[in-house]
């Protein structure tokens, strides 16, 4: 399959947005939708309800809840390794399992597998999923210089012509590489170069999740902004007015 020109892919995505009807969980927390734009993001990625989708590092499960309601096909959540010695990993996985167990009907199509960029582990068969999505995770892999390892695992797991959808806190392109992941932001150029090195091609990019109010120069990095608000009440109204981070939204394709 040959790469589409980026402008052509954007036109196709806009057309898709006009016709897709979403059936995500009606009872889910929608308070973050104005920042995360899930309907538009999933349409831009080109997902359809019959796909088998792999969500990488789903965290607390905000997007899992959305995707479980949207998909008729299988949703595979690649979370932390249960044998990890990290208490943070153990607690995060425990809380995620608690979410899945809280609504057996909604999450009936969700299964949990393991993803660990450091050890190079992704416990799904090669060429077995239609699409992979990951939201605001790349900076974490960069701390261990394992972002390329992660993207290579994604490439192996996808079927030919499979989709990789990425949303990530976006650094300015001139930001020194050593300062990117520590503040939670990553340059778009770096993400694209790593994905291409792993074998993907960039099919399209979108400004769906852009936020020009984000100045990206905070004491506690991106976690200064909502929803983390790590400075507590200090300048709280200022950070609430900014909203969540400026984010790149990219769609890659496996040839």
DSSP per residue, 74-130: -EEEEE--TT---HHHHHHHHHHHHHHHH-TTTTTTEEEEEEETTTTEE-S-TT-EE
Residue 90 lies in a domain: yes
* 196 part of a folded domain: yes
Encode burial over 124-161: b for 16+ CB neighbours within 10 A, e otherwise: beeeebbbbbbbbbbbebbeeebbbbbbbbbbebbeee
Cα–Cα distance for residue pair 87/89, rounded to 1 Å? 5
Tokens of 25: 């969980």
240, exposed or middle or buried, with CB in 10 Å at 0-12, 13-18, 19+? exposed
**CATH number, domain at 189?**
3.40.50.150
| Structural domain total, the chain | 1
Could you list the residue range(s) of the whole structural domain that residue 119 is in?
A: 6-253
CA distances from 200 to 30, 42, 51 (A): 32, 19, 19
Whether the link from the prior residue into 148 is cis, omega within 30° of 0, is: no
Answer whether residue 1 is part of any domain: no
- Look at residue 140 and tell me if it is in a domain: yes
User: Per residue of the chain (255 residues), what is the pLDDT tens digit?
Assistant: 434 444 444 444 443 443 344 445 557 889 899 999 999 999 999 999 999 999 999 999 999 999 999 999 999 999 999 999 999 999 999 999 999 999 999 999 999 999 999 999 999 999 999 999 999 999 999 999 999 999 999 999 999 999 999 999 999 988 776 666 789 999 999 999 999 999 999 999 999 999 999 999 999 999 999 999 999 999 999 999 999 999 999 999 999
| Residue 66 located in a structural domain | yes
């Amino acid at each position: 399959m040959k790469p589409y020109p980026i402008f052509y892919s954007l036109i196709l995505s806009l057309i898709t947005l006009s016709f897709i009807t979403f059936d995500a969980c009606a009872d889910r927390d929608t308070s973050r939708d104005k920042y995360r734009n899930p309907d538009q993001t999933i349409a831009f990625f080109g997902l359809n309800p019959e796909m088998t989708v792999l969500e990488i590092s789903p965290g607390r499960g905000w997007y899992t809840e959305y995707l479980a309601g949207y998909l008729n096909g299988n949703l595979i959540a690649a979370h932390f390794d249960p044998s990890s010695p990290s208490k943070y990993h153990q607690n995060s996985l425990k809380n995620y399992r608690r979410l899945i167990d809280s609504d057996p009907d909604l999450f009936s199509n969700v299964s949990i597998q393991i993803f660990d960029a450091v050890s190079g582990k992704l416990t799904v068969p090669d060429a077995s999923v239609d699409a992979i999505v990951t939201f605001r995770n790349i900076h974490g892999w960069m701390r261990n210089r394992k972002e390329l390892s992660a993207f290579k695992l994604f490439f192996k797991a996808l079927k030919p012509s499979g989709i990789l959808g990425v949303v990530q806190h976006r650094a300015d392109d001139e930001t020194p590489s050593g300062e990117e992941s520590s503040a939670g932001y990553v340059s778009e150029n770096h993400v694209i170069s790593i994905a291409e090195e792993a074998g993907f091609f960039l099919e399209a990019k979108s400004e769906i999740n852009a936020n020009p109010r984000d100045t990206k120069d905070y004491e506690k990095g991106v976690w200064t902004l909502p929803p983390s608000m790590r400075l507590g009440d200090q300048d709280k109204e200022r950070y609430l007015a900014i909203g969540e981070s400026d984010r790149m939204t990219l769609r890659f394709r496996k040839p």
